């Protein structure tokens, strides 16, 4: 099999990168690419049509939104619902195409239920005091007026995001941290939401967001403070339409990086990273650096240890957000990245070969990036561009 590129690139034209199955760059541009027998898989991405998204191929690092988060940061985050009015505009405008943070994924911690019930009914977080969300949250969620108000707030934030970010650039919504607290058996004064009731409310919120944001990617919250019960957890997660969720995420800022692969706990409770990943099949985004009431616990250096990340990667974790990163974290990440393995979740298309005719792929704008099954990339070549890629096949 041979791979033939068009003319050598010039300024402002289109780029192409090709890798073999061993993960090494085969050729950057021009001519026929050698080592053809080693090419087993590829993905073509037209960057002119593609926007930044959390990677399923390399470990991701995130932090709260700021004007200068650091070049190594993959995603920036902000909590939705803290104020009655939509307040995500600065982050969304910064991350939109052409913005100063274009290329970084905006992540929304959608804590709208809790913030709204706290404002409207004086409730507190469950680990802060009483009356709290674990005692009477479900009662209000069953009330048509409160439910409608919450869905209205969700729609308000989605509509504002669409206006500021647009409807193409991916945005990730972490759906309702600790959502399980409203349905946990034995809570809510003996009247928790049933799992089907909770799933129905969640799907209503997803619908409210997608009405304005077809570009939204959803993440379902893990509540690792619950004791792991295989049957109960299976009933909870499979009650949702998991096809609508791209990720799972932790919240609460106390997730653990330590622990051997396969048995590492998410927190001090029995639930493990691997158990939840295996149950749902979803990649996981962890968070660290804060505790009860959002109080800072500082930078969690355990998430900077290569051995810890290797173990978590094998358990399905694809990234971590530090709520209070240290000042030199960007430098730490830059040194750490080359030592981390490609994520098991790395998605690549398969080219079986044997096409009877040459294939030409025009690229009207943007870049063409090709990855092997290990998802390797090359920053050196990322700025180069090509007008087209020409594929031909030959017997070996």
Residue 166's pLDDT band, with cuts at 50, 70 and 90, is very high
Contact between residue 343 and residue 318 where contact means Cβ atoms under 8 Å apart: yes
What percent of the chain stands above pLDDT 70? 74
Cβ-based neighbours of 295, under 8 Å, separated by 6 or more: none
| Confidence (pLDDT) at 202 | 98
Lowest-confidence range among 79-88, 243-252, 341-350? 341-350
Contact between residue 224 and residue 174 where contact means Cβ atoms under 8 Å apart: no
Segment 155-168 shows an average pLDDT of 97
- Cα gap 368→165, rounded to integer Å: 24
| Confidence (pLDDT) at 283 | 96
Q: Is the pLDDT of residue 36 over 80?
A: no
Domain 60-339 has CATH 3.20.20: yes
Cβ-based neighbours of 51, under 8 Å, separated by 6 or more: 97, 168, 169, 170, 215
Q: List pLDDT tens digits, range 297-344.
A: 999 999 999 999 999 999 999 999 999 999 999 999 999 999 999 998
User: Domain extents for the chain?
Assistant: 1-43+348-396, 60-339
| Confidence (pLDDT) at 229 | 84
| Confidence (pLDDT) at 13 | 34
pLDDT, greater one: 48 or 128:
128
Segment 50-68 shows an average pLDDT of 86
Q: List pLDDT tens digits, range 85-121.
A: 999 999 999 999 999 999 999 999 999 999 999 999 9
What percent of the chain stands above pLDDT 90? 66
In the numeric block, which tokens belong to residue 105?
């994924």
Cα 234 to the chain's mean position, in Å? 22
pLDDT, greater one: 88 or 358:
88
| Confidence (pLDDT) at 228 | 74
| Confidence (pLDDT) at 356 | 28
> What average pLDDT does the chain have?
80
Q: Is the pLDDT of residue 390 over 50?
A: no
Cβ-based neighbours of 367, under 8 Å, separated by 6 or more: 14, 15, 16, 45, 46, 47, 48, 382, 384, 385
pTM: 0.78
């Amino acid at each position: 099999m041979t791979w033939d590129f068009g003319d050598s690139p010039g300024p402002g034209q289109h780029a192409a990168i090709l890798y073999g199955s061993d993960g090494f760059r085969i050729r950057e541009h021009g001519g026929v690419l050698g080592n053809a027998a080693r090419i087993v898989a590829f993905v073509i991405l037209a960057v002119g049509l593609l926007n930044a998204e959390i990677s399923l191929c390399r470990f991701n690092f995130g932090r709260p939104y700021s004007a200068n988060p650091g070049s190594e940061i993959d995603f920036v985050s902000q909590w939705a619902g803290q104020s009655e009015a939509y307040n995500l505009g600065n982050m969304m405008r910064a991350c939109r195409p052409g913005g100063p943070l274009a290329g970084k994924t905006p992540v929304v911690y959608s804590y709208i239920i809790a913030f709204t019930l706290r404002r409207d009914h004086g409730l507190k977080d469950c680990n802060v005091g009483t009356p709290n969300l674990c005692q009477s949250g479900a009662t209000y969620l069953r009330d048509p007026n409160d439910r409608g108000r919450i869905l209205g707030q969700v729609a308000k934030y989605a509509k504002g995001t669409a206006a500021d970010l647009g409807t193409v650039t991916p945005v990730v919504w972490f759906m309702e941290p600790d959502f399980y607290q409203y349905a946990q058996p034995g809570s809510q004064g003996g009247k928790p939401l049933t799992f089907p009731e909770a799933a129905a409310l969640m799907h209503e919120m997803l619908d409210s967001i997608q009405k304005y944001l077809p570009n939204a990617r959803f993440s379902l919250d893990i509540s690792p403070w619950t004791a792991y019960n295989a049957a109960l957890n299976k009933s909870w997660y499979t009650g949702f339409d998991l096809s609508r969720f791209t990720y799972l995420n932790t919240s609460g800022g106390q997730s653990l990086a330590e622990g051997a692969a396969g048995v590492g706990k998410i927190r001090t409770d029995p639930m493990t990273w691997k158990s939840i990943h295996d149950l749902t099949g979803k990649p996981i985004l962890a968070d660290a650096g804060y505790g009860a009431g959002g109080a800072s616990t500082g930078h969690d250096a355990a998430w900077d240890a290569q051995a810890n990340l290797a173990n978590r990667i094998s358990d399905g974790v694809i990234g971590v957000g530090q709520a209070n990163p240290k000042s030199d974290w960007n430098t730490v990440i830059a040194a750490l990245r080359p030592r981390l393995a490609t994520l098991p979740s790395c998605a690549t298309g398969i080219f079986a070969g044997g096409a009877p005719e040459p294939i030409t792929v025009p690229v009207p704008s943007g870049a063409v990036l090709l990855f092997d099954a290990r998802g390797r990339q090359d920053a050196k070549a990322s700025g180069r561009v090509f007008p087209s890629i020409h594929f031909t096949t030959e017997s070996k």
